[in-house]
Structure 1
Amino acid sequence: MRSRFSPRSAGLAGLAGLAGLARLACAGLALSAAACGSPKAPSTVVTELAGGPPGTTTIVAFTDYECPFCRSTHLELTKAILGGPPVRIVRHHVPLPSHPHADLAARAAICAETLGARMDRMDDVLFSAGSAGLNAGACEDAAAEAGVADRDAFKACLHAATTDERLRRDLAVYAEAGSGGVPLTYVGKRRFEGAQDAPTLREAIQEASRK
């Protein structure tokens, strides 16, 4: 399938190829992590998992906002968090070339984070939008809803070199993780590939919070 990345993000497509992204189909990823084995977590992920505030469990998620299994896992994770121990979520963006709006959505999330948005709200809006709702105007509205007041700064950020570099770093960490697709989620020392349900994620969060 022809990639629809913008010319400025063309360099990302090469790294995406190294990560095997061009061969991935989100629809085929709802598999048990146990069936795929559990490669060693990248050093970046290990640092992120250990770097949260005291008493807070860190969740590291590799995701694509246009992927239905990523959307499902986000909804289940939201349920799993409710009423549980404190958590923080670190996202790495893996926009698949087969998803025409995923690159823009990833950039929108990166820029919203850079500009101080409420990322829980930004994630909710982007994941609920669906493919048709991830156009430029909708992403700008999502950022505003999440607390970004300066729309001009947001639009400038979308194609900034710093945003390109963040995507390159995320894809490089994903390649190091050796996953077969997204979603890929780390909770404490546990690794989950494919869509997960709330009870599974809640159990992992509670286990991590006790350590």
Structure 2
Amino acid sequence: MLTTAVLLVAAPQFMSGRIVRQGMLHDPQILVDAADALRDRQYAPTLASSRGMLETPFGSSWKGAEKPEVILVEFYDYACPYCKASNPHVDQLLRENPKLRVVYRELPILGPDSVVAARLSLAASKAGRFQQFHDALYAAGRPAPETNAAAARIANIPPTPSQDVAIEAELKKNFSLASQLGATGTPLFVVGDRVLSGAVGYDALKKAVEAAQKKA
């Protein structure tokens, strides 16, 4: 009788643990989804308080819808290979979704050439020619004096960045926002209530955009 009673009490907990373990072994995506949910909860207060700053572009540092239903924010570095690999995925989403806007936030963490590229990009943005510089530099290759200057010529801006208080303030703000969102590198994407770190790929970005758009 005692043995039976103990088993009746203990079995559900024991079996529940075994079922969860087997489920995780069968579908590791469960762990990924759980980690994503934890991240979302962790950064929810930051997103709530910083939404305006995150989604308001500097100058013309955006592509897509004039009146968007959903906004995807990307923190990036022109020298980051993962950002470059993600760029076609972002462009594909923009082609497919006329209600999407992408706001680009400079986060130059990979050396002096990245910082110069970011300052030139923001100068082009102030002049209303962000897209020309952005696309030209990605097409030219990794930031360097030659590629930075080539992209600057295409965007019709000076090849050497000037000291600009607004640009320096924007970079400082981006570093602060990225730090609050737990950035350990680039790219970092924010859409709706989701924070996605790294080159997560087209499918993950599309799923996050669609989820955010449904809530809009």
Pick closer, same or farther for the CA change 1:181–1:138 going to 2, 3 Å: closer
1:58 aligns with 2:71: yes
Q: Are the counterparts in 2 of residues 56 and 85 from structure 1 also a CA contact under 8 Å?
A: no
TM-score by length of 1: 0.68
Match of 1:126 among 126, 132, 137: 137
Pick closer, same or farther for the CA change 1:44–1:64 going to 2, 3 Å: farther
1:29-81 Cα deviation digits (max 9, x unpaired)? xxx79378343144574115666864432111111110101111122111222
* Larger proportion of helix: 2
**Mapping of 1:192-211 within 5 angstroms?**
192-210=196-214, 211=216
Q: Which moved more, 1:166-175 or 1:105-114?
A: 166-175
**What is the root-mean-square deviation of aligned Cα atoms in Å?**
2.8
Q: Which amino acid aligns with 2:198?
A: G
TM-score by length of 2: 0.67
1:188 aligns with 2:188: no
In structure 1, the residue matched to 2:152 is: 143
Would you identify which runs of 4 or more consecutive aligned residues in structure 1 move more than 3 Å?
Answer: 32-36, 41-45, 48-56
Post-superposition offset of 1:120: 3.2
1:144-183 Cα deviation digits (max 9, x unpaired)? 424x3xx34x64x543233222211211111222222211
**Which protein is bigger by CA-based radius of gyration?**
2
Unaligned 5+ segments in structure 2 are 1-31, 57-64
Q: Are the counterparts in 2 of residues 49 and 60 from structure 1 also a CA contact under 8 Å?
A: yes
Partners of 1:45 and 1:130 lie apart in 2 by 33
Match of 1:88 among 95, 98, 101: 101
Partners of 2:210 and 2:139 lie apart in 1 by 27
Question: Alignment partner of 1:101: what SS?
Answer: helix
In structure 1, the residue matched to 2:39 is: 37
Partners of 1:179 and 1:161 lie apart in 2 by 25
Partners of 1:69 and 1:182 lie apart in 2 by 7
Q: Which amino acid aligns with 2:184?
A: G
Question: Alignment partner of 2:96: what SS?
Answer: coil
Pick closer, same or farther for the CA change 1:179–1:128 going to 2, 3 Å: same
1:88-141 Cα deviation digits (max 9, x unpaired)? 222222111x43411111111111101110x3332222233333xx23443233
Match of 2:116 among 104, 111, 118: 104
Structure of greater relative contact order (alpha carbons < 8 Å, 6+ residues apart) = 1
Query: How many aligned residue pairs are there?
Result: 171
Pick closer, same or farther for the CA change 1:138–1:59 going to 2, 3 Å: same
Q: Which amino acid aligns with 1:78?
A: D
In structure 2, the residue matched to 1:175 is: 179
Q: Are the counterparts in 1 of residues 67 and 99 from structure 2 also a CA contact under 8 Å?
A: no
Partners of 1:71 and 1:121 lie apart in 2 by 16
In structure 1, the residue matched to 2:51 is: 46
1:72 aligns with 2:81: no
Q: Are the counterparts in 1 of residues 68 and 101 from structure 2 also a CA contact under 8 Å?
A: no
Identity %: 23
